[in-house]
């Protein structure tokens, strides 16, 4: 009887050990992009990033309200199209009704992208009006950044809609630096700890 | 050669795939109910349905419509008895009429997705359709009436 009890306990211990080992292995597969902590380098890089995110090409689709912005002066989009639940507009006013898969040629013609949309209603990811401190914190928090991990944030620099900001068609001012310079600053910010500038 | 399905008819057209859908409808197929207004998706006169969405045909290349379902004002109802068409006639909505095909096609998408739209829903859906005669109030009233007519037809 005693031997049988010991055998049962031993088997259970082995099973628990195997489960613990497998859980530990799954944790090890999560990449950790932050390779060093350097708040000065990180904050300096974010200040560059911020100038791009607050430029019309990025901010116009990250409005504080439910109407996208338009133009180099970021005025409310004419016709007042609404965000909708999924960020793709409502009824007869869906983004892709006018915004084609590619830019429509000509001044004042709609720029295009196959994935044209605003952030969804349940996570608006607002840029407009955010201070550097607020925006940096918002960007690193999965609850406010579109559920992105740090690795996914790094990859987001090459997202098709982000890249479209540098190919927005005739007559539209480009972001204040090249995409390569932006990407470098973005990754420098994240890999040095993704620090937020002081709120002052 | 491009194959198009317009108002449930199939067309085979030898045409540049970059041609705007509006040009194809009007000049190649002869469906002139859809109107040219601004040419840059700003006015809504050229709205047609592409797979049920109210696209602006002046900036939509015909290549986007290949193999998809296009419906124009001529195809909204085989007998011109869509609830919106009945309501438009009942309330004499049109003045010059130039924008009205686009207005009706946009309103049709609204009523398909929202059976009982409020004034705010109507404004949200129709804000991109401009009417130089200023028939907006009659358009709004007609959409409410069409909503009622649609409800009665569906309950029969």
Q: Closest Cα of chain A to B90: distance in Å?
A: 23
Q: What local confidence, expressed as pLDDT, does residue A200 receive? A: 72
| CB spacing of A91 vs B54 below 8 angstroms | yes
DSSP B69-125: EEE-GGGS-TTS--HHHHHHHHTT--SS-TTHHHHHHHHHHHHHH-SS--HHHHHHH
Between positions 29 and 88 of B, the ones with CB within 8 A of A are 40-42, 47, 53-56, 59-61, 64
Cβ–Cβ below 8 Å for B110 and A91: yes
Residues B54, A97 contacting (CB under 8 angstroms): yes
Evaluate if residue A24 carries a pLDDT over 80: no
Query: Tell me, what's the pLDDT at A37?
Result: 85
Q: Is B122 on the interface with A (CB under 8 A)?
A: no
Can you tell me the mean pLDDT for A55-61?
98
Among B40, B41, B110, the residue with its CB nearest the CB of A92 is B110
Residue of A21 and B18 predicted with greater confidence: B18
pLDDT in tens, A143-175: 999 999 999 999 999 999 999 999 999 999 999
Other residues' Cβ atoms within 10 Å of the Cβ of residue A21: 9
To the nearest whole Å, the CA of B33 is away from the closest chain A CA by: 19
Contacts of B60 in chain A (CB under 8 A): 100
pLDDT band at A38 (very low <50, low <70, confident <90, very high): confident
User: Chain A within 8 Å of B107 (Cβ-Cβ)?
Assistant: yes
Q: Break chain A into its structural domains and give their ranges.
A: 1-30, 33-191
B109 contacts A92? CB cut-off 8 A: yes
Asked if A82 and B124 come within 8 Å (Cβ–Cβ), the reply is yes
User: Is the model's pLDDT at A115 over the cut of 70?
Assistant: yes
Least confident range of A1-10, B51-60, B109-118: A1-10
Which residues does A contribute to its contact with B (CB < 8 Å)? 78-82, 90-94, 96-98, 100-101, 104, 106, 108-110
Name which of B21, B50, B124 to mutate to probe chain A: the one with the most chain A Cβ atoms within 10 A of its Cβ: B124
- Give how far B64 is from chain A: nearest CA, Å: 9
CB atoms within 10 A of CB A127: 23
pLDDT digits (tens, 9 = 90+) for A3-19: 566 565 655 555 544 44
Query: What would the pLDDT profile of A75-91 be if each residue is shown by its tens digit?
Result: 999 999 999 999 999 99
The fold of B83-155 is: DNA polymerase; domain 1 (1.10.150)
* Average pLDDT value over all residues in chain B: 97
**Per-residue pLDDT at A31 exceeds 70:** no
Where do the CATH 1.10.150.120 domains begin and end in chain B?
83-155
| Percent of chain B with pLDDT strictly greater than 90 | 97
B103 interface with A at CB cutoff 8 Å: no
- A110:B125 CB<8 A: no
Contacts of B115 in chain A (CB under 8 A): none
Is there a contact between A97 and B56 if contact means CB atoms under 8 Å apart? yes
Lowest-confidence pick of A142-146, B57-61, B152-156? B152-156
* Residue range(s) occupied by CATH 3.10.20.30 in chain B: 2-75
Banded pLDDT at A21 (limits 50, 70, 90): very low
* Residue A7, pLDDT score: 60
What's the pLDDT band for A30 if we cut at 50, 70, 90?
very low
The confidence score (pLDDT) of residue A36 equals 74
Backbone angles phi and psi of A111, in degrees to 5:
-70, 160
Q: What is the pLDDT of residue A20?
A: 46
pLDDT at A108: 86
What is the CATH topology of the domain spanning B2-75?
Ubiquitin-like (UB roll) (3.10.20)
- Point out the least confidently predicted range of A16-20, A137-141, A167-171, A187-191: A16-20
């Amino acid at each position: 009887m005693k031997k049988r009890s010991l055998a049962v306990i031993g088997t259970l211990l082995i099973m628990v050990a195997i489960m613990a080992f497998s859980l530990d292995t799954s944790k090890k597969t999560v990449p950790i992009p932050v390779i060093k902590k350097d708040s000065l380098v990180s904050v300096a890089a974010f200040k560059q990033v911020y100038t791009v995110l607050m430029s019309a090409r990025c901010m116009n689709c990250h409005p504080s309200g439910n109407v996208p912005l338009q133009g180099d002066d970021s005025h409310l989009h004419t016709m007042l199209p609404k965000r909708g639940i999924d960020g793709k507009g409502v009824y007869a006013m869906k983004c892709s009704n006018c915004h084609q898969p590619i830019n429509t040629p000509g001044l004042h013609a709609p720029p295009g992208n196959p994935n044209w949309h605003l952030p969804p209603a349940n996570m608006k990811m607002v840029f407009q009006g955010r201070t550097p401190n607020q925006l940096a914190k918002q960007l690193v928090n999965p609850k406010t950044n579109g559920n992105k991990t740090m690795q996914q944030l790094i990859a987001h620099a090459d997202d098709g809609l982000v890249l479209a900001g540098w190919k927005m068609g005739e007559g539209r001012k480009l972001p204040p630096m090249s995409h390569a310079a932006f990407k470098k600053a973005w990754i420098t910010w994240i890999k040095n700890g993704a620090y937020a500038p002081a709120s002052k | 050669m491009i194959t198009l399905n317009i108002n449930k008819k199939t067309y085979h057209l030898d045409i540049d795939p970059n041609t705007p859908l509006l040009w194809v409808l009007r000049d190649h197929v002869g469906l002139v109910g859809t109107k040219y207004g601004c040419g840059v998706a700003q006015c809504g006169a050229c709205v047609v349905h592409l797979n049920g969405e109210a696209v602006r045909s002046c900036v939509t290349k015909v290549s986007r419509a290949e193999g998809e379902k296009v419906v124009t004002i001529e195809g909204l109802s085989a007998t011109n008895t869509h609830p919106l068409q009945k309501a438009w006639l009942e309330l004499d909505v049109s003045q010059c009429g130039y924008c009205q095909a686009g207005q009706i096609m946009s309103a049709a998408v609204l009523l398909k997705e929202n059976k009982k739209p409020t004034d705010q829903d109507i404004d949200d859906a129709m804000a991109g359709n401009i009417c130089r005669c200023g028939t907006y109030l009659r358009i709004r009233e007609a959409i409410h009436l069409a909503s009622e007519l649609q409800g009665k037809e569906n309950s029969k």
